[in-house]
Structure 1
Amino acid sequence: MAWELELEKISEDNTTSKIAVLAGDKRVAIGREPSNGGIVIDNQAVSRHHGEFFRIRNHWFYKDCESTNGSWLNSVPVQPFRFKILRSGDILQIANEAIKININVPASVVNVGATHAPISKRSILVFNRETEGFIDEFPVPEYGRVLVIGGAKPDLEIEGELSELPALVVERRGSDLCAFSVAKQREFYFNGERKNETVILKDQDIVEIDKYLLLYNDPLSASIEQQQNLQNVLNRPWHEGEGPDLGHQPADTPLGSNIPKKTVSPVFGRVVPEHQTGMFTTSSESPPTVLSSPDIHPAMRHLVGEQQQRKSTPEDKLILIITALLALLVIAFLAWLFI
């Protein structure tokens, strides 16, 4: 079946065994005692309802359901109730269990249309911040506009918005995907930080404005980074002391919600700061590249021409010269009258 998600458990000797094959749009839970016939992991370190898998179009996602001992994807912590895009070759860690991700893509897939971006293509996935509902997917072209939110001619409207200037523009500039606000007074959130200048997006970065949440899907760059980050993960034993510190609990002691989360090893990520909350998370390891000032989308420049400082032209210079000469003549005439 097309777009199946295959999960393989990685054992201590780095061999794998298939534990589940998922298909369809129904959410499937994973945990020690998952609900509705989910995937069972017989491990006391794993929460009863640890996380969930689900599919949107040709993308598979994982969400951590506020598990006691956490989840990691390719060494990056997955914050509770946030989504992560899954790709073939990823390593998902739930507590101290490691799972290899495989996505079975149909061989006949070459291009599934403009509104269903191919798995190897860049796209922007748009969600409702309040309901977690999926809204739409916008393919990223080789150059030019991806989408506009708000303003006179938006791809996505902002309810009650009166300004003709876009609240947010996402466009491709060379190899970079940029997001910025044309309306100077509007701010947006980039990976949880308030911004009002142009930012450059990387794979799985998040932009939030009004009710919209934009998730950047860049599998091309992600596959290169994935190979670099996971080579050592699969070629070394990790079970002994390399998962999260579970507090050295006895094997027969269930790890409940009263067990605090501990630091994790460099192999499987970093500690999630307590102040970071929300529906999604990002896998960016470095601060975003910020341009010096926001730009104006070419299609909207005619709307903001009156608000921008006007550039000097030869006609303007001629008018200034004539005005100055006339002023000198008036001053000379007045001086002649009173002398």
Structure 2
Amino acid sequence: MSGAVSYPNHHKPAHIRPIKPHGIHEIKEHKIHHGDCLATLDKIQSKSVDVIITSPPYNINLSYNSYNDNKTELEYLEWMEHLFKRLKRVLKDDGSFFLNISGSSRQPWLPFLITTRLKEYFELQNHIVWVKSIAVDRETSGHFKPISGARFTHHNHEHIFHLTKKGDVKLDRLSIGVPFADKSNINRFGHKADIRCRGNTWFIPYRTVNSKAKKFSHPGTFPIELPLWCIFLHGKKNPTVLDPFLGAGSTLVAADFSGGKGIGIEIDDTYVKTAVQRLKDSIMTSKKVTLNKEEMDLLLLQDPETRKDGGFQSLLVSLQERLNKTTGDLTLEDSDLERIPKYAFNYNQGGWEERLKDIFGRVLGADLGKTS
């Protein structure tokens, strides 16, 4: 297909004019395209992508390096529609498109205006709410971003629209499932394992950071678990995963964690460099393992509410969230490979140390005792 971009009424507004591409970075089986997303998408083969995961600029005046996030509403929606048309073309007929979008207290209608443009191209198969912070009774979890004034409540969630071509794509819901609270339901309803569907509210808090650099100097990064859960939920082995607004590269790191092949597109020089280095570092320092059923059951014993207690509790909860509960596949980051031996050997406190050894002793072998 031609790399030219066509627009209705021969109109080429500046905000969607393609720029000259800057090349392709290939890391392992992944590709990062440095250039304009619309022009680059025109060069990608039709029906070649299994999963699209992206979080486009929200048009709420965030501070990007090379992009004006303060367009008129009509300009922004027209730009989104050009994007959706191209994404439909490259997506396989049984593919999934996960669109992460949010409004703001001052621009609350944005996500819903976008859905009206999406209807022409996709079916809304699932509407998932990403809960970033929450208060239950007197307990709070996650980061509450400060707001000024007395007009608005804290904005604690974002939308994830799961879009497909016909609304009939079968999913692997248990891959991101959670254990039953009432264990009697397992046998009562004939479930094969102590795992059930998580539902359409996903609590994924940001990891606490105290500097912009720890967010990779990008104003709109999402946690690695978000794209990873989307990939697991789609359920295809070794998928081709596309993010047309790659930013700091979280989606491609998640694609690598899942055993997939990632394609990222990013216009900004700084973010391209960050994404390339981040992906290289992740590939070099992470370790893929596969837990058996007994090891998975031991890992899932940890109560997610103990995340806030720190130490081995937060470690086990974070590993739960990156575990594919269907296949047992888990990617351990370099920090995990440091912390697991530390907590398994260095405290001489019994129970939970033995549990760590039982979970990871087989898959890590001699590596488990390196820091003991």
Decide which structure has greater helix share.
Answer: 2
For this structure pair, what is the TM-score category when the shorter chain's length is used for normalisation?
under 0.3
Structure 1 or 2, whichever has the larger Rg, is 1
TM-score by length of 2: 0.23
TM-score by length of 1: 0.24
Decide which structure has greater strand share.
Answer: 1
